């Protein structure tokens, strides 16, 4: 049984790890992920999986990584666009801020 204290400890440990690097995987139709060494290895593994388990296809090569920083970068781009709008009209500026908020909430 997991307690709230256990969850806090696990969360604290994860926060200390820092950003996780993106890695290449092969995914099958049921979401089974096979970790690969690099993109070329992932393509090779996908081809092998197609031969060995054709009924579990399609076997997709994907790059999975943490997108939290990318989300913040996109939101910042929206906010930076507010400088491009005429200062006397508030609506485009408000839309840019609404866009940034929507990206952060996603």
Residue 31 pLDDT > 80:
yes
Split at pLDDT 50, 70, 90, the class of 2 is: low
Q: pTM above 0.85? A: no
3-state secondary structure of 37: coil
What mean pLDDT is predicted for residues 42-57? 95
3-state secondary structure of 57: coil
Query: What is the radius of gyration, based on Cα positions, of the chain?
Result: 21
* Residues 78 and 96 sit within 8 Å (Cβ to Cβ): yes
d(Cα 79, Cα 73) in Å, to the nearest integer? 10
Task: Show the tokens assigned to 100.
Answer: 């940034």
Residue carrying the six token digits 């579990």? 56
pLDDT-wise least confident of 23-27, 30-34, 91-95, 97-101: 91-95
Residue 35 pLDDT > 90:
yes
């Amino acid at each position: 049984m997991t307690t709230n204290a256990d969850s806090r400890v696990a969360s604290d440990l994860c926060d200390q790890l820092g950003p996780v690097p993106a890695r290449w995987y092969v995914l099958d139709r049921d979401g089974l992920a096979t970790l690969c060494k690099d993109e070329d290895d992932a393509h090779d593994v996908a081809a092998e999986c197609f031969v060995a388990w054709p009924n579990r296809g399609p076997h997709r090569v994907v790059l999975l990584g943490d997108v939290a920083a990318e989300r913040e970068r996109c939101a910042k781009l929206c906010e930076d666009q507010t400088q491009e709008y005429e200062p006397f009209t508030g609506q485009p500026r408000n839309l840019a801020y609404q866009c940034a908020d929507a990206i952060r909430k996603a």
